[in-house]
Amino acid sequence: MHRRWADEPCSRGDRPSRHRVRQPPLPVLNLAAGAPALQFVMPSIAENLERVRHQIANAAAKAGRSVNDVELVAISKTHQAEKVREAIEAGQSLFGESKVQEARAKIPDLPSNLRWHFVGHLQKNKIRHALPLFDLIHSVDSLALAQDINRIAEEEGLHPRVLIEVNVAGEGSKFGFQPEKLRAEMESLLGLSRLSILGLMCIPPIATEAEASRKYFVALREMRDRLQTDFHVDLAQLSMGMTQDFALAVEEGATLVRVGTAIFGERTRKTE
């Protein structure tokens, strides 16, 4: 099944040039009145999902892992509920959002049997709204935020499941615990009785080559292994890998891959 998009820009090479020899006219297409003249075939969301799942399966097989140990979180941020419905029809039931306000508008419009993960920076004043919406918060990026979530969860009678976001490359522009800070604050995090800390998450630096992410995925996995041993905790979940590098993340041990563009297409800045 193919979906047709009419609003794709022409490539430069398609433009007529005044200096070129006149070409014979293109054959006239049999289009309905008012139909756009140029149409390009784009894969559907169902086809995109199939391709991504296939790539996950291949990467898991390459690493000798079971594909059942990897969950695909379809990141629907900025995409309308209609596109999420297409993904649901293709068998996807786990989605990720990064803005509480957007999620509050979108989630009630969709079937109630879906699971939603929060993957963005969680602002303190949004915690109370976020907790009942999301099954898992991937992005607890400071002790202060963890303490606020814990306090609000207590007030609301909830037990949130969370991952700790690690700033693996020490980028000044990124949220997340610096690795040494996480070690220093781990006891305090583990003391927050309302939180179930299930693992770690990272967003490596933007790079032109997917391979550049591998060392950060390895670093996150090794950090997880050390924390498990030193603090006697189970941190089974590793949330790592996005459109560009999710296959590498699976090879390096990801249990949750967060894929948006490869499923839904390019994002617009705001909700479409």
Ligand X SMILES: Cc1ncc(COP(=O)(O)O)c(C=O)c1O
Give the binding site for ligand X (CB under 6 A). 75, 77, 98, 119-120, 203, 242-243, 258-262
Nearer to ligand X, 210 or 235 (CB): 210
Based on CB atoms, which residue is closest to ligand X, 127 or 249?
249
Distance of closest approach, residue 61 Cβ to ligand X, in angstroms: 22
Counts for the chain of helices (H) and strands (E), in that order: 9, 10
Q: How far apart are CA 102 and CA 126, in angstroms?
A: 12
Instruction: For ligand X, give the closer residue by CB, 194 or 246.
Output: 246
- Tell me whether residue 107 or residue 194 sits nearer to ligand X (CB atom): 107
CB of 132 to ligand X, least distance (A): 21
Q: Residue 202: beta bridge partners? A: 166
What does R_g of the chain's alpha carbons equal in angstroms? Answer: 22
Asked whether 174 and 203 are in contact (CB, 8 A), the reply is yes
Distance CA 19, CA 17 (A): 5
Instruction: Please identify the residue of the shown chain whose CB is closest to the bound ligand X.
Output: 260
Nearest partner of 236 among 199, 196, 186, judged by Cα: 199
Give the Cα separation of 176 and 239 in Å (integer): 13
| Closest-CA residue to 131 (of 112, 148, 144, 108) | 148
Nearer to ligand X, 203 or 247 (CB): 203
* In the complex, minimum distance from the CB of residue 113 to ligand X, in angstroms, rounded to a whole number: 23
The C-alpha atoms of residue 226 and residue 220 are separated, in whole angstroms, by: 10
